[in-house]
């Protein structure tokens, strides 16, 4: 099956992205960006290649996510995406990757000051951390309830 390509090069701001259940997707962002949207691919995989500076966030569901490469000073927020398997092939620089509920992190290669945060207790089968890179569970934010006296 042929992959669909979604490509952002240069400076972009878009909060209405939609990745839907029509086959595998290759998502590329290069430059300066602030992108967000919905993802619904319970039968397909989504591959990310990101370089530059900015934020990318998605919500939804996906069968498999492949983070092919992330470099620069960017945040890839997938904390609201439910996924069966995640591969982080190359995360470097000052990049931060936030992963939502998943069963398996089959590969995690981080270097530089990269950070990979995950929810829950996924099975981690292959992990490589270089320099000051780190993997850590996401800390739940507590909601403060104000009570009128």
pLDDT score for 135: 93
pLDDT score for 147: 66
3-state secondary structure of 29: strand
Report the alpha-carbon distance of residue 108 to residue 127 in Å, rounded.
Answer: 5
CB 106 within 8 A of CB 89: no
Q: What is the pLDDT of residues 62-117, one digit of tens each?
A: 999 999 999 999 999 999 999 999 999 999 999 999 999 999 999 999 999 999 99
């Amino acid at each position: 099956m042929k992959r669909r390509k979604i490509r952002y090069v240069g400076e972009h701001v878009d909060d209405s992205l939609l990745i839907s259940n029509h086959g595998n997707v290759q998502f590329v962002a290069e430059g300066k960006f602030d992108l967000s949207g919905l993802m619904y691919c319970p039968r397909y995989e989504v591959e990310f290649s990101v370089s530059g500076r900015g934020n990318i966030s998605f919500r939804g569901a996906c069968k498999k996510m492949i983070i092919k490469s992330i470099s620069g000073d960017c945040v890839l927020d997938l904390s609201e995406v439910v996924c069966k398997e995640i591969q982080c092939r190359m995360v470097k620089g000052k990049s931060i990757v936030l992963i939502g509920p998943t069963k398996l992190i089959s590969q995690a290669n981080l270097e530089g000051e990269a950070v990979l945060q995950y929810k829950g207790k996924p099975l981690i089968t292959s992990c490589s951390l270089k320099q000051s890179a780190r993997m850590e569970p996401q800390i739940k934010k507590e909601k403060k309830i104000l009570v009128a006296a």
